[in-house]
């Protein structure tokens, strides 16, 4: 044994390669890289200065086991940190979100996707597109790849696209992106500091995910192997080892520039301040993640036909803005139209506003390259058939971009119950009526328009009654009612106010975790009217996850205070005792038998309840 030790010490400078002449070969994670022999990092990924090198090979012959372990101890030390822009030194370090660029592939526990953030209260997970061992590819270079080290082909997306790559070779991910994203779930993964990882097995390249099933078993000290910080993963769904992630598994939560700033007030400083406000107010902690630019960000096209941003209002550029937002653990959205002009150009004279008609492939690739996570595609006198064209262009980028469309223009309106195109299989979300305004009549109009459209709602595809006007002119009681009804309708919670100047009451409305949990419930059922106990009085019910669980809105639309009763039989619960919780008061009211009555409900208000039938 002493001779073997002496021999090992003498030859350690040759790392692992010298052993190839005297023992059988087996892949070992002895270097910085996570990829197999002769392979390269996935196309589009960003690795650290130590990442992406071919894996060295070490012997495991029993006669030389001691020398092999000494080799590993020295040689692998060069790859024990995540050298990329997001990684911290040392195995098991928590990465620093830094502009949304994924760090180098770690051989320890450092993840490669920044700080993970959950997908909202009660929502689906937002973990990275992991592939059994290594996390998904890079973000900032555009086109999120999910190849990595494993995956025997990508998971099939809901609409036929696939994401994943060549098994074991780290190939570039293809297809997918819009409906489900997702990475391959099979294949034997080249070791990266651990054992074999087959469909989320025991490999040790990543630890617990921020949601869904882990992407490679136990971690050697790190936490997530992907995550929302880079904006590269779909919200919701399970990681590898289960169903691929779904883009828009729960209704999106975020902010849009139009209601508060329109065309003239939109600029880089405003957008950055809204992203900062998500963090400072705690809104990000309850699920808000998308920071969306509406119309008027662009300045025509360059000589190659590529979109240009307005350099006066966005001097740093959209990619730099995306990097900043991703660095906060958030995501960025942008606006375009299926016409030659945007709506601001058509209706408001904003001449630099050019549409995507005829440029869909180029524009989708540009958005992916810039790091865009959400596209609002506004009809603006375009053709309904054009929405499918952009869907396909987004899929072709391989990046999971949430696809929100407005197929109604100024009428006639296109909804799940009355439309010539297949909304559910084209977009993640669609507007169902004309624009909202900051007044009660407008809120009521959109609630009524959405009543029968619940047939189209579900994970990955949502009805959109437009942005929130909480804090923009409604009084506080009306703001809570507005927010309550959007939540029970499983509508997007996209705010449209100035987040830097909102009142304490507005913030409390927008961040109530109990009400947000109703909207983000992973079952994805849109609530509906089940009773009208009086003039302008409505009882709404939404089936929730968990046995015999319902969210209930007792809605007083009228001008007089009134008492409203909900019967268990109206909401599909068995007769007998059920517990009732007031979600706005965040207070358990106790058990009630067969019904509950809210007394003296104020005008233009909602009493929001969670009712659970006890066994």
CB 117 within 8 A of CB 289: yes
Residues in the chain: 615
Question: What is the arrangement of strands in the sheet containing 605-613, beginning at the earlier edge strand?
Answer: 528-534, 537-543, 549-556, 605-613, 577-582, 587-593
Q: Kindly give the pairing relationship between strand 605-613 and strand 577-582.
A: antiparallel
Q: What are phi and psi of 402, to 5 degrees?
A: -65, 130
Question: From CA 582, how far away is CA 224, in angstroms rounded?
Answer: 35
CB 295 within 8 A of CB 258: yes
Q: Is 498 a catalytic residue?
A: no
Cis peptide before 412 (omega within 30 of 0): yes
Question: From CA 101, how far away is CA 153, in angstroms rounded?
Answer: 25
Question: From CA 104, how far away is CA 184, in angstroms rounded?
Answer: 20
CA angle 319, 325, 328 (to 5 degrees): 145
Catalytic residue selected from 285, 435, 476, 582: 435
CB 483 within 8 A of CB 509: yes
* CA distance to 127, 146, 320, 392, per residue, from 130 (Å): 8, 7, 26, 23
Catalytic residue selected from 224, 295, 299, 378: 378
Our separate counts of H helices and E strands in the chain read 13, 22
Q: Which residues contact 148 (CB under 8 A, 6 or more apart)?
A: 34, 42, 45, 105, 130, 131, 133, 134, 135, 136, 137, 165, 170, 183
Beta bridge partners of 158: none
Q: Which residues contact 3 (CB under 8 A, 6 or more apart)?
A: none
Q: Which residues contact 496 (CB under 8 A, 6 or more apart)?
A: 255, 256, 258, 259, 260, 467, 468, 469, 472
Question: From CA 379, how far away is CA 426, in angstroms rounded?
Answer: 14
CB-side neighbour CA atoms (13 Å) of 445: 12
Residue from 508, 511, 606 nearest 552 by CA: 606
Q: Is 378 a catalytic residue?
A: yes
The kind and range of the H/E element at 487 are helix 476-488
Question: From CA 189, how far away is CA 147, in angstroms rounded?
Answer: 11
Q: Is 400 helix (H, G, I), strand (E, B) or coil?
A: coil
CB 177 within 8 A of CB 142: no
What distance, in Å, lies between the first and last C-alpha atoms of the chain? 67
Residue positions annotated with a catalytic role: 378, 435
């Amino acid at each position: 044994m002493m001779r073997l030790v002496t021999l090992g010490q003498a030859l350690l400078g040759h790392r692992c390669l010298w052993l190839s002449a005297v023992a059988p070969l087996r892949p070992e994670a002895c270097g910085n890289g996570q990829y197999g022999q002769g392979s390269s990092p996935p196309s589009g990924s960003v690795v650290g200065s130590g990442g992406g090198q071919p894996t060295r090979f070490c012997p495991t012959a029993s006669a030389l086991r001691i020398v092999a372990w000494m080799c590993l101890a020295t040689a692998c030390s060069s790859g024990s940190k995540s050298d990329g822009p997001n990684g911290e030194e040392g195995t098991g370090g928590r990465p620093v979100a830094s502009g949304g660029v994924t760090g180098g592939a770690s051989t320890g526990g450092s993840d490669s996707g920044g700080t993970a953030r959950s997908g909202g209260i009660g929502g689906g997970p937002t973990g990275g597109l992991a592939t059994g061992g290594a996390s998904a590819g890079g973000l900032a270079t555009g086109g999120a790849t999910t190849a990595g080290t494993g995956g025997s082909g990508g998971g099939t997306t809901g609409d036929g696209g696939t994401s994943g790559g060549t098994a074991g070779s780290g190939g570039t991910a293809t297809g997918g992106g819009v409906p489900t994203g997702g990475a391959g779930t099979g294949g034997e993964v080249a070791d990266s500091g651990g054992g074999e990882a087959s469909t989320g097995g025991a490999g040790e390249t990543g630890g617990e995910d921020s949601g869904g099933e882990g992407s490679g078993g136990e971690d050697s000290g790190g936490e997530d192997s992907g995550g929302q910080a880079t904006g590269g993963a779909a919200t919701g769904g399970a990681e590898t080892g289960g169903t691929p992630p779904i883009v828009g598994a729960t209704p999106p939560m975020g902010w849009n520039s139009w209601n508060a700033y329109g065309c003239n007030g939109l600029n880089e400083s405003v957008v950055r301040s809204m992203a900062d406000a998500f963090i400072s107010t705690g809104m990000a902690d309850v699920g808000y993640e998308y920071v969306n630019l509406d119309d008027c960000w662009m300045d025509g096209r360059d000589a190659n036909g590529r979109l240009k941003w307005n350099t006066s209002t966005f001097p740093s550029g959209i990619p730099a803005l995306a990097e900043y937002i991703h660095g906060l653990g958030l995501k960025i959205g942008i606006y375009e139209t299926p016409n030659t002009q945007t709506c601001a150009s058509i209706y408001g004279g904003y001449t630099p506003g050019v549409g995507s008609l005829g440029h869909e492939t180029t524009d989708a690739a540009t958005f992916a390259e810039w790091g865009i996570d959400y596209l609002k595609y506004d009809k603006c006198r375009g053709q309904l058939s054009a929405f499918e064209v952009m869907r396909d262009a987004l899929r072709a980028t391989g990046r999971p971009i949430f696809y929100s469309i407005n197929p109604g223009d100024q009428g006639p309106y296109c909804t799940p119950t009355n439309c010539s195109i297949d909304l559910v299989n084209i977009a993640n979300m669609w507007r169902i009526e004309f624009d909202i305004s900051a007044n009660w009549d407008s809120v009521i109009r959109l609630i009524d328009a959405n009543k029968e459209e619940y047939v189209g709602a579900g994970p990955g595809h949502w009805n959109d009654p437009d942005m929130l006007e909480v804090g923009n002119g409604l009084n506080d009681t009306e703001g809570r009612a507005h927010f309550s009804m959007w939540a029970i309708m499983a509508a997007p919670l996209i705010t449209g106010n100035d987040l830097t100047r909102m009142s304490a009451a507005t913030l409390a409305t927008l961040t109530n975790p109990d009400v947000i949990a109703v909207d983000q419930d992973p079952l994805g059922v849109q609530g509906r009217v089940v009773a009208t106990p009086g003039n302008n009085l409505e009882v709404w019910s939404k089936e929730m996850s968990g046995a015999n669980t319902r969210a209930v809105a007792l809605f007083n639309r009228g001008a007089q205070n009134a008492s409203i009763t909900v019967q268990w039989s109206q909401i599909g619960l068995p007769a007998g005792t059920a517990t009732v919780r007031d979600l706005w008061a965040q207070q358990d009211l106790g058990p009630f038998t067969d019904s509950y009555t809210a007394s003296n409900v104020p005008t233009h208000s909602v009493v929001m309840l969670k009712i659970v039938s006890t066994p």
